[in-house]
Structure 1
């Protein structure tokens, strides 16, 4: 893992955690503005559904989240790493009957980390 400029690794970690926590804390409670803040406006969200690739833009994804049922959820960052201005993260959201395992790619633009894409796996529990 690298640092950029004079920034320490600890400070960079905190900056990377901002969008991850916005996602993990915003998704279970359907906080659309917090989710919007986590994603780059041109990010894509992908998932295999019934054996086919499904893909959403951020507005489409936020609309789907808004319509989803509100359920209890446990979240966890499983891992993350970065090199320069790119990062990746693995997180999970555990709902009562299923869980999502999400893989993110992030970019750092103008000092701010944003989720550039998300690919998810949904597992029935």
Structure 2
């Protein structure tokens, strides 16, 4: 039986996870580097496949790439997320005019805050 206390705990966790995911979803399209930095664990890795090869960046390298990217209109979407204890995962996408990033995140909760520990990204083009 679910109690009021457990429902409150679930809603609080959902909210905390959504705060982190929204920092990414709202920060990335406008190149808000500090908001993005706050969504990720400092030791996070970002990975993708380019021309059939695995490419990976540390968080500082990734943030440098975002800072250099062309600013474009974007539709950010949270597709799904789930968690168990202090680990979780999320599926999001950023749709630009001619391509879409489809991202999957591994999340971890440290000191009461959810952080993106790893990002695996797929670039779908053209739309």
Please tell me the TM-score bracket, short chain as reference. Answer: over 0.9
Structure with more helix by fraction: 2
Please identify runs of 4+ aligned residues in structure 1 that moved more than 2 A: none
> For 1:8-87, what aligned pairs fall within 5 Å after superposition?
8-87=9-88
Aligned equivalents of 2:36, 2:110: Cα separation in 1: 18
Aligned equivalents of 1:112, 1:8: Cα separation in 2: 14
Report the number of matched residues.
Answer: 121
Q: Return the index of the structure with the highest Cα Rg.
A: 2
* Residue 117 (structure 1) shift: 0.2
Aligned equivalents of 1:112, 1:72: Cα separation in 2: 29
TM-score by length of 2: 0.93
Match of 2:119 in 1: 118
In structure 1, runs of 5+ residues without a counterpart are none
Match of 1:101 in 2: 102
Aligned equivalents of 2:112, 2:31: Cα separation in 1: 26
* Residue 18 (structure 1) shift: 1.2
* Residue 101 (structure 1) shift: 0.4
What's the C-alpha RMSD, in Å, of the aligned pairs? 1.2
TM-score by length of 1: 0.94
